[in-house]
Structures are given as structure tokens and as C-alpha cells.
Amino acid sequence: MPDLERDLRELLTDDRLDLPVRRDAVRIVHEGVRRRRRRRTIAMTTAVAATVGAVVAAAIAVPAALDAGGKKPTQPVHPKLGYDVAWINTPAPKPWFPKPIQPKPPSMNAPRCLASQLHIGAVVGNGATGMEFFGIPLRNISNQPCLLVGSPMRVVAQAAGQPDVVATRGLHLGSGGAGGDLQPGKRGYLSLETDRDCSARYATPNTFPTKNYTSVTVTLPSATSFTIPLKLDVECGLRTGGLGVQLPPPTDRPDPRSQLVASIDAPLTVRAGTTLTYVVTLTNPTAATISLRHCPGYAEWLGAGVVELAKNAFGLDCSTVRAIEPGQSVRYEMQLAVPADASWPDPVQLSWALEAGVKGPVSTPIRLVAPRPR
């Protein structure tokens, strides 16, 4: 550029040329050159700044994306379908449930129950595997607890003109429950058992039943007794179980994973014969961390009413995100193969449900598009 300025100056001041030139022409040309230089410098600086800004933004965005799910998200098929945890093709695991809370064992401090403290309820019979079981309900009608535990001192089946049949201890199947203090108004039990199959039974064919008795006398560990009417066939003997109190059933322990709230985000259409990619978001609305140590499975299906056009079950990826913190939401990529022959004129429902008991499935409408012609 300095050579150009010199040449212009010489040209404009050449006396041999009869040019109508202003006296300050050289200054004007020189200032024009400087203005051109400044504009070029500003343009180059702006371009460099834009490039640096883009590099800085990318440097910030990439670590943030990596921190969100532990791996770089792939390009979503729909602008809204970003995710934190990529889909994995793993079978749904065996369902896991928290162990129930067992009832507190009863105390064993009261004196043993007397026959006069007990009301004998209606006997309930039941049969299984060739044996018949009889449950004798016992209720404490006194105003004091009494101890109902152990085996009766003696249980005898009786019938007029027949010898007594004394029960042996031990049932083929356990009587359940446990012995302990029977509180006023509460119920206990005694179980008896007879058998259908024995050599004595088949010694005289076609004579079943062969040895009917009409009552049973039970002598409690307190040495007091009660007698109840009860029809028994004791040809194959009589067995007695233990005395016990009825315990409340175990209490189901809540599954923290059932507190997760699911939502679904999917494209508006899916083409038959392709794989539908969508996103399920699990949110922890509680104040406690929800562990995914027991990794749940999930079911997904595409259908209209009772018609199922596609269905599958997989296991959640719990290796990338092992727990969901309070208030945190985690987006999971989902995939569902849609058969090429799937078709429906109206929008169908894409549904998703977590095995761990999220309240009902979540659904969203989606329209099926015919497969591409070959």
C-alpha cells in the first residue's frame, strides 16, 4: 500500500498533466486508504471474536452434556427428544419387592388359659392331599390375657360304644401362627388332622368311611378340658397340632421406586416397519433419594383399546444413573420396534409402565404411517 500512495501522489502532482485536481487530493486519498484499513481490521476482529465465542460455547456445552448422563447424547429424531440415559437392549429383570414387615411376636407372660376362659367357635374343615384338617377357633372371653402355647395334654376322639382314639402330636402340614398371650377378645386356634390313606382303610374295600366318631375332648396344658361335637373318620388315626394365637398378617413395606412420577414424550407419527424412538422422564417428587440398586424393568406397548400393535419389555439402564435425587428428573431414551404390518386409521396410544409400581401407565397419542414402498 505505501507504493500505491506514492504513485498516486506523483500522478496527482505531475505538472505535465493538465488535471483539475484539488490541492488536498493527496490528503484525501491518504485518509481514504486509512479508513479502508480500519474497516478491514474491524471486520477481521469481529470474525475472530465470533469464532472464539463459538469455540467457548462448545467447550461449555460438551461437558454439560456429558455430566447430564455420563455419555454424549446422540442426535434426537425430534427436537424435544433429548435424553440423559441412552436405551439399552437388556431383558427385564426378575421383579423385586421389599420384604414385608413381620408382626411383633406376642408376649408370653400370662398364666395358661383355662377352658372356662375360652369360647369354642364353629369348627372349619378342609381337605388336601388325602388328609382332612379341622381348625378349632378359640376366643378369650375373660377380661385377662392367658397363655395359649404348646400342645394339648391330650386330645381324644369319642363315640358311643367305641374305644377312645387318642391323637398323636404333629401334623403333616404346619398349623401356622405362634403361641403366646391371648388378649381379651382375641382369637386363638387348635388344629386337628385325619388321614384318608392307610392299610386299615384298604383292608375292607368299598367301606369308606369306616370309623366315624362324634366328639372330641381337648385337655389344655392348664389341665382343664372342653368337649366339642365333631364328626371324624379316625380309621387312619388322629393327629393334633399346637395351640396358638392369631397374628395379624405381615405389613407390606412401601417400595420407594413407586414414588417416581413418569411422563412420556414422543414424535407425532411413527412409520410401520421402523423403530419408534421416544423419551420417558422419571421425576423424584419426594424429599428422599430413590435408589435404583434394585433395577426395575418396564413394559411398553402401542395399541388402540384392547388391540395391541406392538409390545415389549426391557430393563432400565441403572448403571449410568444409580439413584434419583430429590426433585431430580432423568430422561431415558426408549425404543419400540413397530411391525411393518401394523396399521390403524386413527391415532393409537403409546403406553409405558414401570415394573416397580408407578401409578398406572403413562400414554400419549401417536399416528401410524404406512411403511415406505419398496
Number of H helices, E strands in the chain: 3, 22
Residue 192 belongs to what H/E stretch? strand 187-195
pLDDT tens digits, residue range 170-192? 888 765 568 999 999 999 999 99
The set of cell numbers assigned to 318 is 441403572
Q: What is the overall mean pLDDT for the chain?
A: 82
The predicted structure's pLDDT at residue 69? 41
DSSP secondary structure letter of residue 24: T
Amino acid at 175: S
Alpha helices, H only, 168-224: 199-203
**Class for domain 115-245, per CATH?**
mainly beta
Predicted confidence (pLDDT) at residue 15 exceeds the cutoff of 50: no
Decide whether 115-245 matches 256-369 in CATH topology.
yes
The predicted structure's pLDDT at residue 363? 96
16-36 average pLDDT score: 48
pLDDT tens digits, residue range 217-230? 999 999 999 999 99
pLDDT tens digits, residue range 187-207? 999 999 998 778 777 776 666
pLDDT tens digits, residue range 340-372? 999 999 999 999 999 886 667 999 999 999 998
Q: Count of CB atoms within 10 A of residue 191's CB?
A: 20
264-285 average pLDDT score: 96
The predicted structure's pLDDT at residue 27? 52
The predicted structure's pLDDT at residue 126? 85
Closest CA relative to residue 187, chosen from 221, 225, 148? 148
Name all contacts of 291-295 with Cβ < 8 Å and 24+ positions apart: 291/256, 291/322, 291/323, 292/257, 292/316, 292/318, 292/321, 292/322, 292/323, 292/324, 293/318, 293/322, 293/323, 294/96, 294/257, 295/93
Contacting residues for 356 by C-beta, under 8 A, at least 6 apart: 255, 257, 258, 260, 296
The predicted structure's pLDDT at residue 258? 93
- Cα 231 from Cα 353, distance rounded (Å): 53
Most confident stretch, 76-80, 116-120, 129-133: 116-120
Closest CA relative to residue 131, chosen from 270, 237, 260? 237
The predicted structure's pLDDT at residue 374? 76
**Class for domain 256-369, per CATH?**
mainly beta
Segments making up each domain of the chain, as ranges: 2-68, 115-245, 256-369
Q: Taking a C-beta distance cutoff of 8 angstroms, is the pair 108, 180 a contact?
A: yes
Predicted confidence (pLDDT) at residue 28 exceeds the cutoff of 60: no
272-297 average pLDDT score: 96
At residue 147, φ and ψ (nearest 5 deg) are -85, 125
The predicted structure's pLDDT at residue 319? 95
Amino acid at 56: V
The predicted structure's pLDDT at residue 42? 42
Residue given cell 435408589 in the structure block: 291
- Cα 222 from Cα 224, distance rounded (Å): 5
The predicted structure's pLDDT at residue 327? 97
The predicted structure's pLDDT at residue 20? 47
pTM for the complete prediction? 0.57
Predicted confidence (pLDDT) at residue 102 exceeds the cutoff of 70: yes
The set of cell numbers assigned to 106 is 406376642
Comparing 366 with 60, the larger pLDDT belongs to 366
Q: Taking a C-beta distance cutoff of 8 angstroms, is the pair 118, 139 a contact?
A: yes
Q: 54 vs 47, 71, 76, 77, 320, CA distance in Å?
A: 11, 22, 22, 24, 29
Q: pLDDT above 70 covers what percent of the chain?
A: 75
pLDDT tens digits, residue range 247-259? 888 999 999 999 9
CA dihedral over 168, 169, 171, 175, signed as positive or negative: positive
